[in-house]
Amino acid sequence: MAANRQELSGSQRNLSLSMEDIVNECKTFFFAGHETTATLMTWTIMLLAINPEWQEKTREEVLLVCGRESPTHDSLQNLKIVGMVLNEALRLYPPIPVLAREASKTLQVGGLSIPSKTFVFLPTSFALMEARAILAMMLQRFRFSLSPGYKHCPTLFITLQPQHGMQIIFEKL
C-alpha cells in the first residue's frame, strides 16, 4: 500500500490494490486483532486464577463500577485495577513478543511527521478497551481457578501461547 501511494505521488496514477490484496489485508487485520486479544485474555485469566486475591479485587472493582450491567465505554474507562491487571499480563506474556514495527524512514502521515527509527505502536487502544470489556463481563459471571493438571509451558508460535492449552475451571457466580 505504501509503495502504491509512493507511485501515485509520482507520475504513474493507474496503480491500485487488487481485490486479492484487499482481502489479504483484511484477513491480516482480523487475525492480528482476534488472535492477540484471545491470547491476552488466556494469560490474564491464568494470572487471576493463580492469584485469587487479585481476582477478587478486580471483581470488586467491576461490580462497584458496572454492577451487573454490561460495561459501557465510560465505565470501562474507570476500571483502573482491570487496566493494571491487563498491563501486567501484557508485560509478563506479550501476545507477540518479537513484533517490532519501526519507521524505516521519516514519513508524513496527514499533518504528522514520523521520524525514522520511531517505534510505531500497533493500535492498542481499541484492543485494550475490548479486553477490559471481556474481562469485566467474565468477572461479573465467573470465578476461575487453574486446573491441577495444568503444566505451565509458554511457547512462541506466532503468538505467545500455552503449549498444552490453558485448563481453567470456571465456577458460575
Domain ranges of the chain: 19-95+123-172
pLDDT tops 70 at residue 130: yes
Which CATH number does 19-95+123-172 carry? 1.10.630.10
Percent of the chain with pLDDT over 90: 43
| SS3 label, residue 121 | coil
- 158 Ramachandran zone, left/alpha/beta (phi>0; psi -120 to 50): left
Q: How far apart (Å, rounded) are the C-alpha atoms in residues 170 and 70? A: 19
pLDDT digits (tens, 9 = 90+) for 32-60: 566 788 889 999 999 999 999 999 999 99
Q: What pLDDT score does 122 carry?
A: 57
Beta strand segments in the chain, E? 107-109, 112-114, 142-146, 154-157, 159-162, 168-172
pLDDT tops 60 at residue 23: yes
pLDDT digits (tens, 9 = 90+) for 146-169: 999 999 988 887 778 888 888 999
Question: What is the phi/psi pair of residue 114, to 5°?
Answer: -110, 110
- 117 Ramachandran zone, left/alpha/beta (phi>0; psi -120 to 50): left
If you average pLDDT over residues 61-89, what whole number do you get?
95
All three cell numbers of 152, joined, read 505451565
Q: How far apart (Å, rounded) are the C-alpha atoms in residues 148 and 163? A: 16
